[in-house]
Chains A and B, each alone.
Chain A
Amino acid sequence: MAAIEILGLEKTYSVGFWRKRPKHALRPLNLSVEDGEIFGFLGPNGAGKTTTLKLLMGLTFPTSGSARILGMEISHPLVKSQIGFLPEQPYFYDYLTARELLEYYAQLSGVAATERSRKVQEMLARVGLNDAAGTQLRKFSKGMLQRVGIAQAILHDPKVLFLDEPMSGLDPIGRREVRDLMEELKQQGKTVFFSTHILSDAESLCDRVAIIHQGELRGVGAVEDLTSSVEGNVEIVWHGNSIPAALTALTTECHPVGDTVRAVVREANQDAAIDAVRKEGLRIISVTPVRTSLEEYFVRKVQVSQTAAGVLS
């Protein structure tokens, strides 16, 4: 069963005072996320990632379309008890201590009174905030607030997690911890839907990703499939510092490195390039395929102005 099904969700605002122009924050989006996978929702700032999450959380209402989580409509009251949400740059009641905040959330989520303090303690330990449990949140650093945010999202043991930029503001150690946590959650069989614009995180973590730009979906699929769908490149390194004339037409990337020259050409032009180098009598050191990064795929997709085909794998 799909954990999350987004069916044509759309959000349009009217902007302007006198003559209202429509602003399409999110064009009709169709997406589904399977049970137990880590799904990355990628896009540059302002692409519509946060809009989508707010629609799913019921914080804003869609112009059209609907969505289901765990088979239930998102407006159904029971849905909320199964999901956890970490908003972007979260703010919490700064007059409460970490423990008080988590206990408050636990009570609102319906955690039984007998279980509450134990669970809160457990969460504080898990996100490494034991020492700061009794400190008021107004004194917390950004990283500590992010940890609190994660704690409140998972404390009621939800089946599906929605995280908006979970790594933002964290130092490398913090980011590693979050990544480990997300892996852990996957081991426990939970579904994680997170948005980010840091592609390296997505690459290593996600089973599948979706790329969104200017409110439109540009591509969906498993990471390897997406990167391999883009034509590969080949790197040719040779001795010397001259560049054959015939080669310059085949490559955009070509520069000397020490006493060698490195050039990147498309896979299709591989043979032509090798011939050009050998014709000059230059000694080839290596010919290596270069794996396209997700970033490249991303950039390419974002630059394309047509609507994506929506490849599902």
Chain B
Amino acid sequence: MKPGGRITAIAAVLLLVCLAISAVAVHHLDRIRSQTEWDEVLYVPSPKVVKRLSLGYDGLLADVYWTRVVQYFGTKHHEGARDYQLLAPLLQITTVLDPQLTVAYEFGANFLAPQPPYGAGMAQQAIELVEYGIRNNPNDWKLYYNLGFIYYTELKDYGEAADAFARGARVPDAHPSLRVMAAEMAQHAGELQMAQMMWTTAYQSSKDPNVRANAIAHLRALQVDEDVTNLEKLISVYHQKAGQLPSNFFDLQAAGLLRALPLDPLGQPYKLTADGQVEVRDPDDFPFITKGLPSGYVAPPPRFRPSDLGSS
């Protein structure tokens, strides 16, 4: 005699049905709760209280909060949001719980400081965050780099940037570019090469896919700006020589000013407008560019290209 076959069958079927329903319900709950969950961060009385309440498991809790930081940013970015209000409190809690979580400071430098819609627009808070990180990790060159990075890119305070890089260069095993940037900041701050070095270092020194994608986008933007500037110089030379604007780039080629058709960093040819302006074919592909934009163009909220995010 085996135990009751009928009750076994009923229980098994019921179990599977319940499993399916519960999975659906969880999905549903995710959607309902998604916004409110983030707001709950603001209910945390203070990071210090959280640390005390974590009963010694602050490292683990920091990792949990870090996961939330990345998730928050990723969700917002994917939705094309224009603000990241909760980034600051999330990062604050994470770093109070674990002051040695250096990726948090890097994230803050890259996404807390820039103006919306590229970041939370809290440059001063970002600086405080990174200084806090430096106090707790004085031998990590990356943090000095992050500090200088904020001063350079957002505050345009080249003096402070140079200072930060100089401090960082003194740390053992510092990236060689720090010394170079510290030295050259005074004279070449506004130049293309400085900016390229800055973003290249950002790309090389980070393992975070968001930070790297952001760096690549900036490097492309720098390239486009440079390309457009150069092309427009050539156009004015042509104008002077030929007395009229070129109708397309072949004219410039024929005049010996260009060797080949100019392509943007993504391989698309540039456009030459009737009034002699150079534009990128697809401006949405290039967040951060300041030149080559069609008139009246309104940039959408920035998004990273999936191929950029995949590179690590």
Contacts and interface: CB of A to CB of B under 8 A. Distances in A.
Interface of A: 61-62, 66, 73-75
Contacts of B296: none
Contacts of B306: none
Interface string B1-27: 111100000000000000000000000
Contacts of A74: 1
| B1, B2, B3, B4: residue with the most chain A Cβ atoms closer than 10 Å | B1
Contacts of B4: 75
8 contacts: A61-B1, A61-B3, A62-B1, A73-B1, A74-B1, A75-B1, A75-B3, A75-B4
Nearest to B2: A61
Interface in B159-217: none
Interface in B1-56: 1-4
A66 B3 CA distance: 12
A73 B2 CA distance: 11
A124 B1 CA distance: 36
A94 to B, nearest CB: 29
User: Chain B interface mostly helix, strand, loop or mixed?
Assistant: loop
Contacts of B1: 61-62, 66, 73-75
A217 to B, nearest CB: 20
Pairs of residues from A and B, 4 with the lowest C-beta to C-beta distance, nearest first: A75-B1, A66-B1, A61-B3, A73-B1
Contacts of B3: 61, 75
Given A61-B2, A61-B3, A73-B1, 7 more contacts: A61-B1, A62-B1, A66-B1, A74-B1, A75-B1, A75-B3, A75-B4
A75 B2 CA distance: 8
A61 B1 CA distance: 7
Interface of B: 1-4
A62 B2 CA distance: 8
Contacts of A62: 1
Contacts of A75: 1, 3-4
A62 B1 CA distance: 7
A74 B3 CA distance: 11
Contacts of A73: 1
A68 B1 CA distance: 11
Contacts of B2: 61
Contacts of A61: 1-3
Nearest to A61: B3
Nearest to B1: A75
Contacts of A66: 1
B266 to A, nearest CB: 63
A74 B2 CA distance: 11
B230 to A, nearest CB: 77
A74 B4 CA distance: 11
| A66, A73, A74, A75: residue with the most chain B Cβ atoms closer than 10 Å | A75
A73 B4 CA distance: 12
Nearest to B5: A75
A120 B65 CA distance: 62
Nearest to A73: B1
Nearest to B4: A75
Nearest to A55: B1
A29 to B, nearest CB: 14
A67 to B, nearest CB: 8
Nearest to A76: B1
A61 B4 CA distance: 11
A75 B3 CA distance: 8
A90 B138 CA distance: 71
A73 B5 CA distance: 14
A142 B2 CA distance: 35
A61 B3 CA distance: 8
B4 to A, nearest CB: 7
A300 B1 CA distance: 35
A59 to B, nearest CB: 11
A21 B163 CA distance: 78
B9 to A, nearest CB: 15
A102 B2 CA distance: 30
A66 B1 CA distance: 6
Nearest to A67: B1
Nearest to A75: B1
A280 to B, nearest CB: 67
A101 B300 CA distance: 75
A75 B4 CA distance: 8
A11 to B, nearest CB: 12
A12 to B, nearest CB: 15
Nearest to A66: B1
Nearest to B3: A61
A61 B5 CA distance: 13
B207 to A, nearest CB: 46
B1 to A, nearest CB: 5
B256 to A, nearest CB: 87
A72 B4 CA distance: 15
A58 to B, nearest CB: 8
A52 to B, nearest CB: 14
A74 B1 CA distance: 8
A44 B2 CA distance: 29
B200 to A, nearest CB: 60
B143 to A, nearest CB: 55
A265 to B, nearest CB: 52
A73 B3 CA distance: 12
A95 B79 CA distance: 61
B6 to A, nearest CB: 11
B117 to A, nearest CB: 63
A62 B3 CA distance: 10
B7 to A, nearest CB: 11
A73 B1 CA distance: 9
Nearest to A65: B1
A6 to B, nearest CB: 12
